[in-house]
Amino acid sequence: MALHMNKIVFVISLSFFLISSEANTISHVSYISSTPDVSPVASPVIPTETADVAAGNSNGVSVKNLVGSLMVSSITKTEDFVNKVVEKRLAQIVDAYKKDCLETCKEVYEDAVDAMKETLEDVNEGNYYKANVDVSTMSSNMETCNECVNAIYGQDPEFTKFDNWAHAIIEDALTRITSVSS
C-alpha cells in the first residue's frame, strides 16, 4: 500500500512540476502505471535535457532517477502480474503443456525482476554499460514467455497487454541508459 501511495505521490509531483515548468513540451512518455490492474498508463515525463537544466543536474543523475523510477514500478507490476495472472492460471490448469508454459513464464518473470533489481544497482553505481546488459536480459526473459504463451494460448489478451507494457518499459529504459552510456 505504501509503495502504491509513493507512486501516486511521484506522479502527482511530476505533474505539478510539468505544469509549473517553463519548458512544457513533452517529448518522452514513461509507462509508469499506478493502476492496480496491471494495465499501462502513460505518464508524461519531461525531456532529459529540460530536467537537467531545470534541476541543475548532469545527464547521468537525471537518467539514474528516471530509470530508477521505471525499475521500481516495473518490479511491482511484474510481481503483481505473476501473482494475479500466472499463479491464478497455474492453480486452475490440468493440461501438462499449459502448466509447463506458465511455470516457464513464472520463472522468466522472476528472472526479469532480478534483472530489474540489478539494473537499479548498476544505474545507482553509474555502470550504464552493465545496466544496458541487464535491461536487454530482461527483454530476452520476457520474450521466452511470450513465445510459449503464443504457442499454447494464441493471442491471449492479458499476456499481450502485459507484454506490450513490458516492451515499452524496456525500450524507454534502454533509450535513457544509452543516452549516457554512448
pLDDT in tens, 107-159: 999 999 999 999 999 999 989 999 999 998 888 888 889 999 999 989 999 99
Q: What does the pLDDT average to over 87-94? A: 92
Using CA atoms, how far residue 127 sits from 9, 20, 63, 64, in Å, is 28, 33, 12, 10
Mean pLDDT of the region 92-99: 90
3-state secondary structure 57-114: CCHHHHHHHHHHHHHHHHHHHHHHHHHHHHHHHHHHCCCHHHHHHHHHHHHHHHHHHH
Contacts of residues 50-58 at CB distance under 8 Å and 24 or more positions apart, as own/partner, are 50/21, 50/23, 50/25, 53/23, 54/17, 54/21, 54/23
Residues in contact with 56: Cβ distance below 8 Å, sequence separation at least 6, in sequence order: none
Question: For residues 66 and 22, which has the higher predicted lDDT (pLDDT)?
Answer: 66
Class of domain 2-181: mainly alpha
pLDDT bin (cut points 50, 70, 90) of residue 29 is: very low
Longest dimension (CA), the chain: 58
State the average pLDDT over residues 35-48: 42
